[in-house]
Amino acid sequence: MVYKQRLDGRKDDELRPIEAKAGVIPNATGSASFKIGKTWALAAVYGPRELFPKFLQNPKEGVLRCHYGMMPFSGSGERVRPGSNRRAQEIAMVIGKALEPVVDLSAFPNSVVDVYIDLPQTDAGTRCAGLSAASMALADAGIPMKDMVSSVAVGKVDNRIVADLDYREEHIEEFNPESEGASVSDIPVAVIHNTGEVVLLQMDGKISKIELVTALRLAQKVTEKIYLEQKRALLERFPRE
Amino acid sequence: MGTLKAQERNIVIPGEILAEGMDYLPGENTYREQENIYSKVLGLVTLVGRVIKITPLSGPYVLKIGDKIIAQVTDITMNGWRVSTNTAYTAMLNVKDATTRFVKKEEDLSKILAIGDYVVVRIVNVTSQNLIDVIMKEPGLHKISGGRIISLNSQKVPRLIGKQGSMISLIKERTGCEITVGQNGLVWLKGTPEGEYLAEQAVHLVEEKAHLEGLTVRMEKFLSTGVKA
């Protein structure tokens, strides 16, 4: 009844294959695509632009507004109803709060910067992929930022602390007959690269204190890999022939 | 002793370390945290003496007093026009700053500038809240008629103009177009249809290759062969 090997054969600290690209949407001010395994997030940044209705304006600094959405065909199960829902609103909020500490909009009072995150395909870890993409898109848009935000989920599957859970691992009981009665905890984490400050930390499931500390250590280690991919993608936007 | 961590003309991303120690000074688009200097935008590292600054490769136009911009009339008010500046902020153009002739009190302002008209104006005042005043009463400032308006990222305007206007005069000369570049990234082209098309392609070339060196050579090649190198 122990989880001996990960379902896709990865090592505990191994991430799914990452494919990151900046500047994928020509009409947006800045944009990015971030694929991790089968999860695929697109982020587009528009602005700074005028904010209406006017009562939402902040005369001290610009407003950062996030939108998150899974595309109707994105999941492996039922069609996802398009448009906002309770879950999408919450995720948009936590992503916005994770970006706020790094984004500096003091030069753009009364304006808004819109971040649209859409997921053409999902296989768990969407808020992390979305956040990593959003951070790249903001940098691509030339918005002043203190640092980059890199995000990935860690967690406990049965007895193992692993990084970047996919959908099958999150529902291990369904997909692995040996793991009957196993508990899973999924912890999306986002960190600011230079300081290692945690800007997003949520959890689904149960975990002990020691295991949580181990998981967070693992998160600090693997978000660095995300950061390197983000950096590579942003630099690739400007090829040196 | 301070050390430089990034090389000049290298591309850096936000949060990348540029220098350690107090020997260097943080310039535009950088910030100091304790002893270190970090980048604040995606851009090219530029060293001016001991000052490190970043030349952004993208990003919004930052309003500056004295800049010549191209704007579009969006509204007519009691004493002038409201114009959109291709930024998050609109500007005011007062009647007395728009024309040298006497405008009677009851005159219809839309006879002078109608909604939708483009104008070449100069920024004369910007407040902390980015309220903008512009004027149109200097030589070189006027209402735009004919031709076409295209936009490029405002951070690439200096490259489009070139050193002492070398790039823009090259494009003007080869395409036979009249070209006005607004610092806000709007460009007005007027000439023959073929000339305008070629000039538009040339502006797009600048936008694509702005981060590379030897842009004038590329441009010359493009204008003579029609192939983007």
Confirm if A199 and A135 have CB atoms less than 8 A apart.
no
Chain A interface includes B21 (CB < 8 A): no
Q: Quick check: helix, strand or coil at residue B122? A: strand
Among A86, A91, A90, A101, residue whose Cα is nearest residue A138: A101
Residue of chain B whose Cα is closest to the Cα of A52: B88
pLDDT at A181: 83
Burial class (CB in 10 A: 0-12, 13-18, 19+), B182: buried
Decide if B62 is inside a domain: no
Residue B177 in domain: yes
For A142, the closest of B88, B155, B211 (CB atoms) is B155
Contact (CB<8Å) B40/A193: no
Q: Which residue of A has its CA nearest to B11?
A: A235
Asked if B13 and A49 come within 8 Å (Cβ–Cβ), the reply is no
Q: Confirm whether B63 is domain-assigned.
A: no
In a domain, B85, yes or no: yes
Strand partners, B25: B51
Q: How many structural domains is chain B composed of?
A: 3
CA distances from A155 to A187, A188, A199, A209, B220 (A): 5, 8, 17, 13, 57
Would you tell me how many other CB atoms lie within 10 Å of the CB of residue B171? 25
Contacts of residue B202, Cβ cutoff 8 Å, sequence gap at least 6: B171, B175, B219, B222, B223
Q: Quick one: closest CA in B to A62, which residue? A: B88
Q: What residues contact B51, with CB distance under 8 A and at least 6 apart?
A: B24, B25, B26, B27
Q: Which one of B9, B13, B44, B221 would you mutate to disrupt binding with A, by most A Cβ within 10 Å of its Cβ?
A: B13
B9–chain A Cβ distance below 8 A for any pair: no
Contact B35, B22 (CB under 8 A): yes
State the residue for tokens 């007959």.
A177
Torsion (CA) B204, B210, B211, B215 in degrees, nearest 10: 110
Do residue B170 and residue B112 come from a single domain? no
B11/B43 same-domain check: yes
The reported pLDDT for the residue numbered A182 is: 86
- B218 interface with A at CB cutoff 8 Å: no
Mean pLDDT estimate for chain A: 95
Query: With contact defined as beta carbons under 8 Å apart, do B61 and B86 qualify?
Result: yes
Domain assignment present for B173: yes
User: Cβ distance B151 to B187 under 8 Å?
Assistant: yes
Give me the CATH number covering residue B118: 2.40.50.140
Q: Does any domain span residue B159?
A: yes
Within-domain flag for B61:
no
Which residue in the set A49, A108, A147 is minimally distant from B15, CB to CB?
A147
Q: Are residues B103 and B136 in the same domain?
A: yes
**How far apart, in whole angstroms, are the C-alpha atoms of residue A36 and residue A222?**
13
Alpha-carbon gap: A186 to the closest alpha carbon of chain B (Å): 28
DSSP summary character for residue B123: E
Question: Rounded CA gap, A82 and B150, in Å?
Answer: 35
Residue A1 has pLDDT above 80, yes or no: no
- Tell me the residue type at B194: E
Q: What residue ranges define each of the domains in chain A, with the CATH number in brackets?
A: 18-236 (3.30.230.70)
Residues of B in contact with A111 (CB under 8 A): 88-89
- Same domain? For B154 and B139 the reply is no
Residue A241 confidence (pLDDT) above 70: no
Amino acid identity of residue B193, one-letter, is P
Residue ending a domain, among B143, B174, B193, is: B143
What lies within 8 Å, CB to CB, of B64 at 6+ separation is B123, B126, B183
Residue B76 and residue B100 in one domain: yes
pLDDT at A139: 97
Q: Which DSSP symbol is given to B58?
A: S
Question: What's the farthest any 2 CA atoms get from each other in chain B?
Answer: 70
B45 shares a domain with B81: no
Looking at the structure, tell me whether residues B161 and B216 fall in a common domain: yes
**What are A's interface residues with B at a Cβ cutoff of 8 A?**
29-30, 47-51, 59, 62, 102, 104, 107-112, 139-148, 192-194, 230-231, 234-235, 238, 240-241
What's the complex ipTM? 0.92
Any idea what the CATH number is for the domain that residue B28 is in?
Answer: 2.40.50.100
- The domain boundary, picked from B115, B143, B171, lies at B143
- Work out the pLDDT band at A77, boundaries 50, 70, 90: confident
Blockwise average pLDDT, block size 10, chain B, 229 residues: 85 95 94 94 94 94 96 96 96 95 91 96 96 95 95 94 94 95 97 95 93 91 84
Please tell me the distance in Å from B20's CA to the nearest CA on chain A.
14
CA dihedral A173, A177, A182, A186 (to 10 degrees): -40
Residue B180 belongs to domain with CATH number: 3.30.1370.10
Q: Supply the range of the domain harboring residue B76.
A: 68-143
A137-173: pLDDT as tens digits: 999 999 999 999 999 999 999 889 999 999 999 999 8
Among B85, B120, B143, the domain-final residue is B143
Residue closest to B130 by CA, chosen among A154, A236, A105: A105
Answer yes or no: do B60 and A110 touch at CB < 8 A.
no
* CB-CB neighbors (< 8 A) of B11 in chain A: 235, 238
- Does B130 sit within 8 Å of A109, measured CB to CB? yes
Question: How would you classify the pairing of strands A63-70 and A111-121?
Answer: parallel
User: Cα–Cα distance between A149 and A186 in angstroms, integer?
Assistant: 19
Residues of A with CB below 8 A from B15's CB?
102, 145-148, 192-194
**Per residue in A178-221, pLDDT tens?**
888 888 999 999 999 999 999 999 999 999 999 999 999 999 99
Statement to judge: residues B175 and B206 lie in one domain: yes
Whole-angstrom distance, CA of residue A152 vs CA of residue A7: 18
pLDDT in tens, A16-58: 999 999 999 999 999 999 999 999 999 999 989 999 999 999 9
B44 shares its domain with B83: no
Contact B62 A109 (CB under 8 A): no
Q: Is there a single domain that holds both residue B112 and residue B177?
A: no
Domain annotation covers residue B91: yes
CB contact at 8 A, B23 and B50: yes
Which residue, among B58, B62, B85, would best test binding to A if mutated, counting the most A CBs under 10 Å from its CB?
B58
**Tokens in use for A60?**
């001290």
Mutate to test the interface with A, among B18, B42, B62, B151 (most CBs of A within 10 A): B42
Angle (CA) A143-A194-A205 rounded to 5° is 95
Whether residue B215 sits in one domain with residue B152: yes
Question: Which residues 6+ apart lie within 8 Å of B156 measured at CB?
Answer: B185, B206, B207, B210
Same domain? For B46 and B14 the reply is yes
**Cβ within 8 Å of residue B166, ≥6 positions away:** B216
